[in-house]
Amino acid sequence: MEFISNAMILSFSILLLLPSTSYSLYQNPENHIKTAIFVTGSFEMGPGSIATKTFENIKFPRGHVGIKSFDAELVDQEGNSIPSYETYLHHWFAIKYHQNITMSPNPKLRRPEDAFFQRNEGTCNGGILPHYWGFGVESRGTTSKIPDPFAIEQGNPTKIKNGYEEKWLLNIMVIDTRGAQDKKACTQCRCDHMNLPKDFYNVTRDIHNQRLTTNYKGGLFCCQDNLQCKQIEGFQGSRRMVSLRYKISWVDWNIYQIPVKVYILDSTDKVRSNGSKILHDCLAEYTIPAGGGGDSPHVQKANIPMENGGYLIYGTAHMHSGVVNATLYGQDGRTLCTSTPKYGTGKEAGNEKGYLIGMSVCYPQPGSIKIHDGEILTLESRYKNEFRTGAMGHFYIYLAEELPQ
């Protein structure tokens, strides 16, 4: 589906994999919350390999539902959790799209209107950060649970155009760091630590569809599918099949549910105006230059006007290792939410020493924090002040327009 590759964060060549999923379902009889566990189709990885995959039409709760949580992790062919020091989950994004039920299976016969994104309510431009859920290496320790009676409404038939179906895809990036000369540089997608094609800078386009220059030192573009981290000479390691296992909890939609809207904000957003129109320019990632030094963190800051507001129900950040914290402020300077990291101390998956294993979540008392229509929010993402490529500062907030009576 060409629309996906054109609107994703990067213009990657999308490899379509038909997801062969395993599936289990159980239901809590007290609150009628249903939970299902799925596993995407698998793909092969070896030491140093990079995989960027898109799984279309994934398994997802059917009907008019309210999603309560969506969590994911990497597993091997036996269903075992894979530790981050072996295979690093850079990111996974769950993206909604609507597809014409008569769309041709032949890509050459498809029209642009046959399939299109239904993005979140966030302020980023075009196809930048369109997803509803998604984290990275911190996934296992970052909860996405939404408190009752709030939920993310999906599958509302009144919001699906006649002749179309609502579907979901997963876009993921995985880096196998076994045998890498520098694991840290490998996970940061540092270009000088990758075996890049000789014509890489001549043929690669950046996020604005301009030719990538040699000033680009690292990030998503240097972690394209099938590229390779430079390896320790003579290192030998086995190849294995890898999948993304994801768990979704939901309720059937009814009058007792209160919808929340998903907003994903980016600390690289360069906001400007064209007359009365507000224009956003999100880069999705950034580089922290060398030579910062000192004890003070590097701060990436964006002032983001919110066309529509609401009551803050949930907040957290998607960041990478080296993060100090991320804070969202209101226009009057009040702190709306600060998300702080947790680093691992052991060897088991989910507690890998030195790796980011979770980001804290804000659950303000419903009604205690309100973002007003037109309010300008300030997002600050903070990392250790040292050279770093591919840093991300994405902030997720769920806003409700009404409160329980």
pLDDT of the residue at 294: 76
pLDDT at 263: 98
- Give the model confidence (pLDDT) of 119-154 as tens digits: 999 999 988 999 999 999 999 999 999 999 999 999
CA distance 7 to 117: 8
Q: Any residues with CB less than 8 A from the CB of 36 and at least 6 apart, and which? A: 23, 24, 25, 59, 61, 247, 248
Is 305 a domain residue? yes
Residue 42 is assigned to a structural domain of this protein = yes
Closest CA to 37 of 55, 52, 53, 58: 58
- pLDDT reading at 24 higher than 60: no
Instruction: For residue 178, tell me if it sits in a domain.
Output: yes
Which amino acid appears at position 218 of this protein?
A: G
- The model's pLDDT over 236-249, given as tens digits with 9 standing for 90+, comes to 999 999 999 999 99
Least reliable range by pLDDT among 11-20, 179-188, 301-310: 11-20
In a domain, 12, yes or no: no
The 10s digit of each residue's pLDDT in 247-287 is 999 999 999 999 999 999 999 999 999 888 999 999 999 99
pLDDT for the residue 7: 38
What is the token pair recorded at 381? 């993402």
Number of helical (H) and strand (E) elements in the chain, helices listed first? 3, 24
Does a structural domain hold residue 125? yes
Q: What average pLDDT score do residues 101-129 get?
A: 93
37, with CB counted inside 10 A (0-12, 13-18, 19+), is middle
- pLDDT given for residue 291 in this prediction: 80
* 224 found inside a domain: yes
pLDDT above 60: residue 111 = yes
pTM above 0.85, yes or no: yes
Domain assignment present for 128: yes
Neighbours of 293 (CB within 10 A): 8
Segments forming the whole domain that contains residue 256: 34-400
Q: What is the dihedral of CA 73, 189, 168, 239, to 10 degrees?
A: -50
What pLDDT, in 10s, does the model give residues 358-393? 999 999 999 999 999 999 999 999 999 999 999 999
Contacts made by residues 270-279, CB under 8 angstroms, sequence distance 24+: 270/302, 271/123, 271/302, 271/303, 271/304, 271/305, 278/305, 278/307, 279/125
Question: What's the one-letter identity of residue 84?
Answer: S
Distance in angstroms (rounded) separating the CA atoms of residues 83 and 63: 35
Question: Count of domains in the chain?
Answer: 1
**Structure token digits, residue 133:** 């859920």
The mean of the pLDDT values for the chain is 92
Residue 234 in domain: yes
Percent of the chain scored above 70 by pLDDT? 92
Q: Report pLDDT for 31.
A: 60
